[in-house]
Structures are given as C-alpha cells and as structure tokens.
Structure 1
Amino acid sequence: MKRIIRLSKLIGSNHRIIKVSVLLLIVVITGSSLFAQAKNNATDPNLTTAVKDFLKVVNSGPPLETMSPYDARKVLVNAQASVKVDLSGIDVSEKTIRSEGYTVKLHIIRPAGVKGILPVFIYIHGGGWVLGEFPTHLRMVRDLVVLSGAVAVHVDYTQTPDAVFPQAINEIYSATKWVAEHGAEINVDGKRLAVVGNSVGGNMTAVTTLMAKAKHSPQIKFQAMLWPIVDCDFETASYKEFGTGGYYLSTATMKWMYDMYIKDPQMRKDIFASPLRATIEQLKGLPPALIAVDENDVLRDEGEAYGRKLEKAGVKVTTLRYDGVIHDFGLLNGLAEIPQTHSLFLQVAAELKKYLQ
C-alpha cells in the first residue's frame, strides 16, 4: 500500500494559512556558489521566502562544473561550516573495518550517554558522488539520531574522481554487511538495521537494498531515500522545468557529476547505478521505504516514479513531496530551521522508530 503525502505551504484544514516565523541562517560564500544559477527567483510563487533569501546568496558564483572536483568540495564544506548549528546530544567515535575486500572508515553517532545495545541505521551522504563528507552532513545525522534514539553509522566511501562505479557502492554494501554481522563490536543490534541517504546517498540507499536482496544478506528493515537520484534520464519534466538554472541543482551540474562517476551512458543504466531501471521482480521483497522529494528539483519526478514502481512491486512505500523548497533543503545548514526541515526529520525519525523497535 502506498501513501502519498503532499506537504504544501498551505497547512491545516479548510486551507487555513498558518504563518510560520522562519529563522534563516544565511550561508556566507565568497566567490563561488554551491550550484551557481543564472535565474532570479525573487518573484517565484513556488518558493518560500526563506528559500528565496537562501538562493540570493548561493546563486552568486561560478558553477561547480567549472571547478575541479576538489575545489568544488570546498564550497560545500565552507558553506556548511559558516552556519552555527546544534550538534549537542550525541557521542561520536570512529572505526575502520575490513569487509568484502574493502577497507572502510565508519563514523558512529550515538545518543549521548546511552550505553546499551541500540538499533542502527547506515547513513549514506549525498554530494553527487563528488562532494560531501562527515562534517558537512553531521547536523543532519545528529538530528536523526536525537529524534529516533537509534545509532547512525556514517560510511566514508571513496568519491569520484578517485574512484568510479561501482567502488563506492561496493564499499557501502560491505560496510552495511559488516554492521549487520558485527554490530556488537560497536554496541548496536545488527538485526535492527535500516539504511538512510540523501541525494546520491538516496541512490546508494536504494542500491544497497537491491544488492542485499540479490546477495541474500543482510536483512534490512527499512530504507529512507531523501530527494534521491534514481535514474540517468535528464529529460524528465522536472529536469526540463528546473534544470536550466535558478533552483540550486542544474542539469549541467548533474551531467558533470555523472561524467565522473560513470562515463559510459550504457553502464549508467545498470540497476546498481539507476535503481529506477530495476524490474518489478527485482524490486519485490525490498524493505519498506520512505521517499521524500521537493517541489523545485530536477530529481523530483524520478523520485516519485521510483515510489510508484515500488508500490507496483508490493513494497510498503510512502512518498512525500515538500512544496516551496529546493534540492537538499534538509541537508543545508542555512535551511536547518525552516519548518519543512523540522517536519522531514520528525517523519524519518518516526519511521525509524516504527521499523527498528
């Protein structure tokens, strides 16, 4: 059974508009933008005021695809670090493991002061296979840990261009399998295991569950995909609507990222790269899923299409669309205090509690 929930700027019964005071933490970026765009969105009715203000800042510099991947990484690092966020309530440790022929570094994030065996979710960070690291995603992971009471294991997978498909996903699968089998070593219950990821992390969340089914291990209780990349098609309606610029993530940026991860267009159609290409039979038996997309995003349509396909395969799936916001709204520290971000984490945490209890 599939539930589709649309979270709009109109909240409440009888279309009563609830005015919410939003604290926008402005990201200070000098000389470059996260995903530079040419379009002025000051009058766009489909963007909230907070998002419009945020875009005024990030639309000011050169596009990521004009930079080296290493310089592009610094843009996200600096943007996230420029905003003060709440990182209280957690204990963080590290462990390097060897599994399935891969050496992988794990960051383990626990509710502060809780020593017992807890359920666990693998967290796979986004960034188009190129950007992102543990510090850029820590606030997001922290919020999920505090709200759910579960432990997060953040996987430091090798990014492009230092590795190409399928190394990153193989590392993530190997780490997931290790946690399932050796959870006691980090004080978690590997039998109460979920996978969560944003953007390309959502892609690799979907792929991890497909791999687990194909390899008959590990058993995953739940998957959450937040604005995921699930296909290599740049011709969807949402790509055509938002891909030319002005909405944080552009078609040009996506192509730049894909070209580093998988150059061969045919190889991109592999289900372990584009899970939307999986057959209904391949999708049958996957764990219950939550998919969150946002209204103003090139990836919106493919995320919703994946939800519909999972439903056809008999998977329990809830698909949510958050109106008024942009790609990665839940990740960006500059948008951490908007109501959509708070609602998103409450929803994901509630699902984690439900399936990992």
Structure 2
Amino acid sequence: MTPTPFFRRSGRRWNTLVCSILFCCACAVPAQAERLKELVSIQGVRDNPLIGYGLMVGLDGSGDQTTQTPFTTQTLTNMLSQLGISVAAGTTMQLKNVAAVMVTATLPSFARPGQTIDVTVSSLGTSKSLRGGTLLMTPLKGADNMVYAIAQGNMVVGGAGASANGSKVQINQLNSGRIPAGAIVERAVASALTDDANVMLELNESDFGTAEAVVEAIDRAMGDGTATALDARVIRLIAPGGPRARVSFLARIENIDVIPALASAKVVINARTGSVVMNQAVRIQDCAVAHGSLSVVITTKTEVSQPNAFSGGTTVASPTSQISVNQAGGALQVVRKGASLADVVKGLNSLGANPQDLVSILQALKAAGALRAELEII
C-alpha cells in the first residue's frame, strides 16, 4: 500500500499543524531590549508647569471687545499706571489691538537662571486672532505662587485666515501660538540629586516582572547589591558620592539594556471618537456573536400651498416628513479563538461591524469571558 503524502492528508490537520508551528515561532521570538532611560525616571527629577496672565498688543484690529471683556481694560489701566500714565476714572477705551492672554510654559529640570524656555500663548477673551501680536512682560508662576520666569516677545501663529462680506476662511488655530525662547528663567528649582547615598528610580508603569528585570540588569552591569526593588515601581540604587561620580554613574545606568516583562493584555477604547487600540497580548476565545445595526432615516420636504388669484388667501408652507426604519441582519457569527493579535483582528473583522459597533461587541465579549484583556475607556 502506497502511503499518502503528508501534504495530501486532511486539510484540518495540516492547518492545525501550521498554526501550531507559527504560534511556537511567535512565542520563541525574544522580547526586544530597551534602554533603561526609556523605562524609568529618576525620582524628584521632573518638569514643573508655569502659568501667567498678560497682554498681547499690536494686533491688526482683531483684539478683545472691551464691552464683553472688561478685564482687558482693567489690566491695561493697571499697567499704564505702573508706567506713570494715569487714566481718568470712567474713561471708555475702545481697544481693538489689545487682547488678554494666558501664558503657559514648562520649566525643565535643572534649569538655571538666565536660560530661555518656550512659551505658549492663548487668547482669554473675544480676540479673533493673535497673529502679529507682541506679548508684554508677563511673570510666570509655579504652584507655590512664586515667579520662576519672565515671558515677552513676538508670537508665531501657525495659521491664516481672511473674511469679507460675511464669508470667512481659516486655516489652523489663530487664537493661540508659541514664542520660541520667549521666557527667561529667573529662579531655579532645588535639585533632588543630593549627596544622599540612595537614588530612587521610578518605572513608568508598575510591573513586578519589569522591576525584577531592571534590578538584575543593573546588578549584572554595576555589581551585586547596587539595585533593590522596593515595590512594583520604585527601585533604590546605591550611588557614589560627589557630583562627577554620580553623573557618570547615572549615565551608565541609563544606557543599560533591559528586557521588560510582557505587557498585560489591554484594549483601549476612545468613547468620543470610537477608536479601538489593542496590544499584542490580547487573546480571544471561541464565541458566537450576533450584532445588527438599526438606522432611522427622517426625510422632510416643504410643500408650498399657493392660493388662487384674487382669492385673498395667503401662501402657506407645510412640511411633510417621511420616516423609515432599517435594520441590518444580525445573523449569528462564530468567532474562533486567536493565538495572536492578527487572529483576533481577523475574527473581529469577520463580524463586519463598524468601529462604533465594535466598542459594544468588545464590552459584550469581556462580560461573557471570551475576551482575555482589560478594557480601558478614555
């Protein structure tokens, strides 16, 4: 008896074998190593937000309407009084080239007085455009109400617009922009890197497996006992004393390659846009899904009833509406379990659902226990 060639056997057995081989190959692929500086941050070394209130002048007639934004005229009056110019009480100022703005910036770690930082300027009142404006000297304060920087300069707006006879066209946003190097740092934030023997590292995401991998990689490169994991996020390092030695030590630490633990399966759903994003750890079990969509269409037409000549009647417009309800078929579809993200996507696409319907389907799959992932709605 001539044996049947292996590739001519049952298609199901052949497909099962191929899927098993692909799954084993996928599992055999090692995780990609990442530099430690991509996974952790140094505790206490952080940026600080700054905020300020100021005036933007030199606008081309697109400033605030003073009748609707009285704080603009109040601010201008206070500023003029500080410059030695007094404005009589009750004076009505018709300002078209001035706008009240909020100024925000980020003070980076280790910033020193005299350095410059970028600032973002946004309209606070009824200004139509800040294009071509100049920001007057504005103090920027931190959460402790202390002034850390002074902002001033000409703003760059990445937009354009024009209007005439009731028509208007606009590209991008005209009510906000940036001033590159528009603020000068006046006060430094105390550094967290003191002469203490311990330096704390914080993982960007809490994970016991990644914390253990980081400790092993640091000890392997710097010597046993250098790193100790305090919990799933914080890792304590025994660092040398002295600024030069400590900087050199942290520079070597940041460039150590670490293989992080596999991320937990997660599906992120944006409820506002209907976007669905899932990572490679998402898995799905065998299940049956039936999903149908219901659409209601309302069409309204206006019919005009014209009276006969010399009848003395009036023309009447009567709207007529037609309502139709359409329901798509919701046949039961079998979704096979997937061993990879591609299988999961293929199974969900077989349902023929749009992104908005897919959100409901994923929630139902999670409730039924067929979706092996955490749902996060943002």
With the length of structure 1 as denominator, give the TM-score of the two structures.
Answer: 0.18
Q: What TM-score results when the alignment is normalised by the length of structure 2? A: 0.17
Bigger radius of gyration among the two? 2
More strand as a share of residues: 2
The structure whose residues are more often helix, as a share, is 1
